[in-house]
Amino acid sequence: MRSIGAACLVVSVTITMTMAASTLPKAAAPSPVSGVRATATSSSVTLSWSNPAAGTFTGVMVRRAEGHKAPTAPTSGTLIARVPAPRRSTVDPSVSADTTYSYALFAYKGTAYSRSTAITVTTSRKPLTGINVFSGASYGFNEPFSVAYDGTNVWVTNTDASSVTELNAATGTLVRTISGGSFGINRPLGIAFDGTHLWVANAIGNSVTEIYAATGKWVRTLSGGSYGFNHPYAIAVGDGDVWVTDYYSEAVTEFSASTGRWVRTLSGGSYGFDGPEDIAVHGVDVWVTNYLGESVSELSASDGRAVRTLSGGPYGFNGPSAVGFTGTDAWVANYDNDTVTELVDSTGAWVQTLSAGSYAFSGPTAFAVRGADVWVLNDGNSVTEFDASSGSWIKTLSGARYHFDAPTGIALAGTRLWVTNELGASVTEFPAS
C-alpha cells in the first residue's frame, strides 16, 4: 500500500506541473537588428550590426547561404554563429575567394526569433602570387605595347585593337576595356599617369587621349592645330605638364596636364632629335632618346631650353630606346648593341657601359626601377635585374614559365612587375624579388 500511494503522488505532481507549463505565455519575438554591414576579403567576411534595445533579446543568430538569396528561417542555410548580447559583430572565416554569399541575422530571446535582416556580399579574389599570365578574349589584348600603374590598377595599351585594358593590380581581375567613340584611341603606344589622369599617345590618330583613372571616363582628346602631332610615340608627365615625343616630325610637344593647353613644340637643330622614342622627366630636366640619331637629348623642364645632346665617344649609344633614373644617375638602353649606358644626371658624364656576360641583354627596350634595383626588359624574351649602386648583375628571368613573347613594356606595381607581350597578346605578372 505504501508503494502504491507513493506512485500516485508522483503522477499527481507530474500532471500538475505539465498543466502549469502549458499555460505559460509565449515569449514575444524581439525586434530585428538593423544597419547590417559586411566587409569581405578573399578568405573571410566580417559582419556588424546595431542591436535591438538592451534587455529585449538574448543574442543574434547568423546564418549563411551561397548566392544572392539569404536564408529565410532560423533553421535554413548554414549556421555561422550565435552571438550573445550585447556583442554586435562576428567573423565568418569559412568562405571561398571570389564567391557571393547572403547572410540572414535573427535576433532571438529564448525560442522566439525576430524577422530576418539580410545582406549579400562577394568575397575578393585571392591576391596574386607566383607568376601569372593574362590572355584571352575577355582582356582584349592585341599587340599590347605599354603599361602604366595608377596606384590601384594597371593599364595596357593595345596597339592593334586601338584600345586600353584596365586590370586590378592586386588580383588581375579585368576592370574594363576602353575603345571607340569620343576616346579617339587609334594605334595607342605610350601611356602615362599623372596622379589623377591617364594620357595615351595615339600613333595613327595623331592625338593624345586623357582618361580619368578612377572611373575610366573620357576627359578630352588633343589633336590638330598647334599640337601638330605626327606619330606620337612616348609620353611622360612632370611638374604639371605632359611631354610627348613625335617620332616622324622629330619634335617634342609640351602641354598643361590640368587644362590640356598647348605650351610649346620643341624641334630643330639645337635639340638633336632624330627618331625620338622614349621620354622621361627627372627633376628639372627632360630626357629624350633618339633612336635614329644614336644620341640622347636633355631639355630644361621649366622653359624647354636645349641643355645638351650626348653622342659619340664613350657613350656608345646604338639604337637608344629607353631612359630610366636611379638617384643621381641616368640609364640608357641601347637596343641595337645589347648594352646599357650609365650617365651622371647633372652633367651627362659617362660612367660605364654594361654589356655581355651575365647581363644577357638582348634588345633592351624598357626599364623599371625601385631604389637601387633596375629591371631591363629585353626584346629577346627576358628581364635582366642589376644593382644600380654597383652595376652588378642580380638575375636574368626567362623561360617558358614567364611566357615572354616580344615584350615591349614593363611597370612596377608595388612589389610586382607587369610586362606586355606584343606578339603573345598577353601580359605577364610576377614578383619583383
* Three cell numbers, residue 331: 640609364
The span from the CA of 166 to the CA of 214, in Å, is: 11
C-alpha span between 67 and 44 (Å, rounded):
16
Residues in a beta bridge with 197 = 212
Q: Kindly state whether residues 299 and 330 are assigned to the same domain.
A: yes
Q: What is the pLDDT of residue 62?
A: 98
Largest Cα span, the chain: 131
Q: Are 430 and 130 in contact (CB under 8 A)?
A: yes
| Mean pLDDT, range 79-97, rounded to an integer | 97
Residue 10 pLDDT exceeds 80: no
The 3-state DSSP class for residue 23 equals coil
**CATH number of the structural domain spanning residue 181:** 2.130.10.10
- Please check whether residue 250 lies inside any domain of the structure: yes
Residues 88 and 177 in one domain: no
Domain boundary at 78, 99, 122, which?
Answer: 122
pLDDT digits (tens, 9 = 90+) for 312-322: 999 999 999 99
Going by their DSSP bridges, the two strands 285-290 and 276-282 should be labelled as antiparallel
pLDDT tens digit sequence for 38-48: 999 999 999 99
Structural domain includes residue 28? no
Question: pLDDT tens digit string along 267-291?
Answer: 999 999 999 999 999 999 999 999 9
Q: Are residues 347 and 202 in the same domain?
A: yes
Q: Residue 284: what residue type?
A: V
| Domain total of the chain | 2
Tell me the pLDDT band of 181, cut-offs 50, 70 and 90: confident
**Residue 65's pLDDT band (boundaries 50, 70, 90)?**
very high
What are the DSSP calls for 63-99, one per residue? EEEESS----STTSSEEEEEEETT--EEEE----TT-
State the pLDDT at residue 433.
87
* Whether 167 and 215 share a structural domain: yes
Closest by CA to 36, choosing from 87, 86, 94, 104, is 104
Number of residues in the chain: 433
Assess whether 422 and 371 both reside in one domain. yes
Q: Are residues 62 and 85 in the same domain?
A: yes
Q: pLDDT class for 25, splitting at 50, 70, 90? A: low
Mean pLDDT taken over the chain: 93
Within a domain: 225: yes
Residue 17 placed within a domain: no
Closest CA to 319 of 337, 298, 346: 337
Q: What is the pLDDT of residue 26?
A: 64
Question: What pLDDT was estimated at residue 17?
Answer: 36
Please say which residue of 99, 122, 145 terminates a domain: 122
- 13 in a domain, yes or no? no
* Residues 170, 87 share a domain: no
Indicate if the pLDDT at residue 95 is higher than 90: yes
Taking the C-alpha atoms of residue 54 and residue 35, their distance in angstroms, rounded to an integer, is 16
Record the cell numbers describing residue 144, joined without a space. Answer: 599590347
* Residue (of 221, 223, 210, 227) closest to 265 by Cα position: 227
Please check whether residue 198 is in contact with residue 236, taking contact to mean a CB–CB distance below 8 angstroms: no
One domain, residues 137 and 266:
yes
pLDDT digits 0-9 by tens, 194-233: 999 999 999 999 999 999 999 999 999 999 999 999 999 9
Half-sphere exposure of 44 (CA within 13 A, CB side): 6
pTM of the model: 0.82
pLDDT at 15 over 60: no
Contacts of residues 172-179 at CB distance under 8 Å and 24 or more positions apart, as own/partner, are 172/125, 172/128, 172/132, 172/134, 172/429, 173/125, 174/138, 174/139, 175/216, 176/216, 177/139, 177/140, 178/211, 178/216, 179/140
Specify whether 111 is located in the same domain as 180.
no
Mean pLDDT to the nearest integer, 8-16? 34
What's the pLDDT score for residue 376? 98
The reply to whether 10 falls in a domain is no
Residue 333 domain flag: yes
* pLDDT tens-digit series, residues 324-362: 999 999 999 999 999 999 999 999 999 999 999 999 999
Query: Are 117 and 136 in the same domain?
Result: no
- Which of 122, 143, 174 is the endpoint of a domain? 122
CATH number at residue 106: 2.60.40.10
Give the per-residue pLDDT at 255.
98
Output the pLDDT for position 125: 87
pLDDT in tens, 166-180: 999 999 999 999 998
Q: What residues make up the domain containing 83?
A: 34-122
Residue 165, burial from CB neighbour count under 10 angstroms (0-12, 13-18, 19+): buried
**Please, which pLDDT band fits residue 110 given cuts at 50, 70 and 90?**
very high
Is the model's pLDDT at 23 over the cut of 80? no
Share of the chain above pLDDT 70, in %: 94
190 versus 239: the higher-pLDDT residue is: 190
Residues contacting residue 151 through CB under 8 Å, at least 6 positions apart: 193
Residue 15 is assigned to a structural domain of this protein: no
Q: What percent of the chain has pLDDT over 90?
A: 92
Same domain, 106 and 243: no
